[in-house]
């Protein structure tokens, strides 16, 4: 669900995304997709991790959710899946938390009023009571998360009772999704215990649901219930056993959400193949995880058109049989071009053949903005200085987006353009340092400080800290890996006196208020150690 991984995996994901065109080019020649697209196209809004507004879904207010619902409709989606992180609400349910959870009900209604079928997502974990020291939307789940042992009768009773109380409040969704792990589950967990959750949920909805005949339960098949983890052991036997149990005992109405990752990564296509073998594709919506954006990801304008092409070409042959497809993004603001391309291709498979710059020009037209500015801005992490004019950030900040769809960008179109400008600015600054040849140690230190400042300034705008609490100081895992690599190579070529350069660069970062003194020195040293 949240794809919680090590920092090493984060780096892998970033590198994979940046080289997507090369990695997937071999598969892009796959046979042409069928003429008919998916009946339904859904988007999963990942609301767990904390960082700055408007990047993090968790930072949004009701008006931001409402805006993005209307944006999704205009991009071509008709379903949305929300994870408000009910797991961060500990048992017993306090009056304060009950009121906070109740405030999420109108958001679900807004989705439905916007024309989206709205699914609510949960996982079988809970949190320690001390998490309640902060308001619900300010809580960091992973620091307080607790496994729920459903084979322990008392744990199961407390958890299911608490879960029922939360669902009774949020009883207005169209679908209720529960993932089989990541997070949730535990090694050796029995399929019957996974089914137990849905049987309890059905009782809750039958008692308290707003639309009993239409509110469906949706098992999310991802990492295999009962495994040690999708990255640790083969999940096939566990998924097969889970699907057999669900097929036998799930109460109607229900739908299935089998998820797949990128080829050669995590669960690959295992779950979709096993779902087909179990004869359950007809009640399935296919979740093409990370086609739109890798998770975890730093907020950045990464285009994944080739990944989208590859995944959809593989799954579109199932379009006539399945109920639809789903994509996801952890921070949708910076990957709107990917959202647009995914939804359009899922509905119109012929659009898969559209060239990248034509796709971006189409989106610029939809947003009512100048393509000569938007296309290079959206592509900036692919481009060199020769295609990124020095005045592009300034021109972006003074531009306007007049299209109806653009008015529904969370934070507003003006702020969105300013954010794009800041990303472009960071890119230009790093590349400009890379283009210089310092003649002295002082000049090398100045260039190093400027390159670091370019990355830190972008980070200060989004404040991404992975699964942290949001108060962490700047770390290299919070900065673009490709930009780090560019600066590291530059240091290898031009930094001769490492101790003197490091000291001068750190001093410069402190003087310019880029980083505080306790942080500046270690970050400079860490970067230079990579040389």
Q: Are 135 and 100 in contact (CB under 8 A)?
A: yes
Question: What would the pLDDT profile of 338-392 be if each residue is shown by its tens digit?
Answer: 999 999 999 999 999 999 999 999 999 999 999 999 999 999 999 999 999 999 9
Tell me the C-alpha distance between 239 and 191, whole Å.
9
Q: Are 167 and 205 in contact (CB under 8 A)?
A: yes
* 214 has a pLDDT exceeding 80: yes
Tell me the C-alpha distance between 328 and 334, whole Å.
13
* 10 has a pLDDT exceeding 50: no
Return the CATH number of 39-354, one of 3.20.20.80, 3.80.10.10, 1.10.3720.10, 3.40.50.11890: 3.20.20.80
* 20 has a pLDDT exceeding 70: no
Question: What would the pLDDT profile of 169-186 be if each residue is shown by its tens digit?
Answer: 999 999 999 999 999 999
The whole-number pLDDT of residue 212 equals: 79
The whole-number pLDDT of residue 9 equals: 39
The whole-number pLDDT of residue 270 equals: 95
Question: What would the pLDDT profile of 473-512 be if each residue is shown by its tens digit?
Answer: 999 999 999 999 999 999 999 999 999 999 999 999 999 9
The whole-number pLDDT of residue 211 equals: 87
Q: Are 327 and 42 in contact (CB under 8 A)?
A: yes
The whole-number pLDDT of residue 33 equals: 56
Question: What would the pLDDT profile of 230-266 be if each residue is shown by its tens digit?
Answer: 778 999 999 999 999 999 999 999 999 999 999 888 8
Cα–Cα distance list, 134 to 88, 97, 100 (Å): 10, 10, 12
Cα–Cα distance list, 230 to 14, 141, 227, 233, 373 (Å): 20, 21, 7, 6, 42
Of 73, 50, 20, 284, the C-alpha closest to 175 is 284
The overall average pLDDT reported for the chain is 93
Tell me the C-alpha distance between 114 and 116, whole Å.
6
24: confidence class by pLDDT, cuts 50, 70, 90? very low
Tell me the C-alpha distance between 106 and 108, whole Å.
5
Map tokens 């998770």 to a residue.
Answer: 295
Enumerate long-range contacts of 226-235, CB under 8 Å, 24 or more apart: 226/185, 226/186, 226/187, 226/188, 226/189, 226/190, 226/191, 227/181, 227/185, 227/187, 228/187, 229/181, 229/182, 230/181, 230/182, 230/266, 230/267, 231/5, 231/266, 235/267, 235/270
Tell me the C-alpha distance between 38 and 223, whole Å.
24
* 19 has a pLDDT exceeding 80: no
DSSP code of residue 236: H
* 22 has a pLDDT exceeding 80: no
* 407 has a pLDDT exceeding 60: yes
Question: What would the pLDDT profile of 454-478 be if each residue is shown by its tens digit?
Answer: 999 999 999 999 888 888 999 999 9
> Any idea where the domains of the chain sit in the sequence?
39-354, 361-429, 436-529
Question: What would the pLDDT profile of 369-378 be if each residue is shown by its tens digit?
Answer: 999 999 999 9
């Amino acid at each position: 669900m949240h794809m919680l991984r090590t920092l090493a995996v984060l780096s892998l994901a970033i590198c994979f995304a940046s080289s997507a065109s090369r990695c997937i080019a071999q598969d892009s020649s796959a046979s042409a997709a069928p003429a008919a697209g998916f009946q339904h196209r859904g988007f999963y809004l990942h609301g767990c991790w904390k960082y700055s507004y408007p990047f993090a879904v968790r930072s949004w207010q009701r008006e931001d959710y409402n805006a993005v619902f209307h944006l999704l409709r205009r991009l071509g989606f008709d379903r949305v899946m929300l994870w408000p992180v009910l797991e961060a609400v500990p048992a017993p349910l306090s009056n304060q938390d009950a009121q906070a959870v109740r405030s999420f009900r109108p958001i679900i209604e807004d989705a439905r009023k916007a024309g989206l079928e709205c699914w609510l997502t949960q996982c079988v974990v809970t949190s320690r009571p001390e998490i309640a020291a902060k308001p619900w939307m300010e809580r960091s789940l992973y620091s307080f998360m607790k496994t729920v042992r459903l084979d322990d009768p008392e744990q199961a009773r407390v958890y299911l009772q608490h879960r029922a109380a939360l669902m009774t409040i949020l009883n207005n969704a169209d679908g209720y999704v529960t993932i089989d792990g990541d997070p949730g589950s535990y090694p050796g967990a029995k399929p019957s215990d996974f089914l137990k959750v849905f049987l309890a949920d059905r009782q809750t909805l039958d008692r308290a649901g707003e639309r009993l005949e239409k509110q469906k339960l949706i098992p999310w098949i991802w990492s295999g219930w009962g495994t040690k983890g999708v990255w640790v052991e083969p999940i096939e036997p566990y998924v097969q056993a889970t699907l057999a149990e669900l097929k036998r005992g799930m109460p109607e109405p229900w739908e299935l959400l089998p998820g797949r990752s990128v080829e050669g990564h995590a669960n690959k296509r295992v779950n979709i193949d096993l779902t087909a073998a179990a004869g359950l594709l007809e009640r399935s919506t296919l979740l093409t995880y990370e086609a739109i954006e890798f998770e975890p990801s730093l907020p950045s304008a990464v285009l994944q058109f080739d990944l989208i092409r590859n995944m959809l070409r593989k799954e579109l042959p199932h379009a006539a049989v399945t109920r639809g497809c789903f994509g996801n993004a952890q921070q949708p603001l910076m990957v709107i071009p990917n959202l647009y391309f995914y939804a359009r291709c899922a509905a119109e498979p012929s659009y898969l053949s559209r060239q990248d710059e034509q796709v971006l020009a189409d989106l610029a037209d939809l947003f009512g903005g100048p393509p000569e500015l938007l296309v290079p801005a959206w592509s900036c992490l692919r481009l060199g200085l020769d295609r990124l004019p020095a005045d592009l950030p300034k021109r972006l900040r003074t531009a306007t987006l007049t299209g109806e769809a653009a008015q529904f960008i969370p934070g507003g179109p003006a702020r969105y353009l300013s954010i794009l400008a800041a990303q472009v600015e960071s890119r230009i600054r790093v590349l400009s340092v890379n283009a210089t040849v310092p003649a002295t140690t002082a000049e090398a230190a100045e260039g190093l400080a400027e390159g670091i400042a370019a990355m830190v300034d972008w980070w200060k705008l989004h404040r991404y800290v992975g699964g942290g609490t949001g108060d962490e100081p700047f770390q290299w895992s919070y900065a673009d890996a490709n930009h780090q690599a560019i600066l590291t190579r530059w240091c290898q070529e031009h930094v001769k006196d490492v101790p003197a350069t490091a000291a001068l660069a750190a001093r410069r970062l402190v003087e310019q208020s880029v980083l505080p003194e306790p942080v500046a020195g270690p970050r400079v040293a860490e970067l230079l150690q990579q040389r």
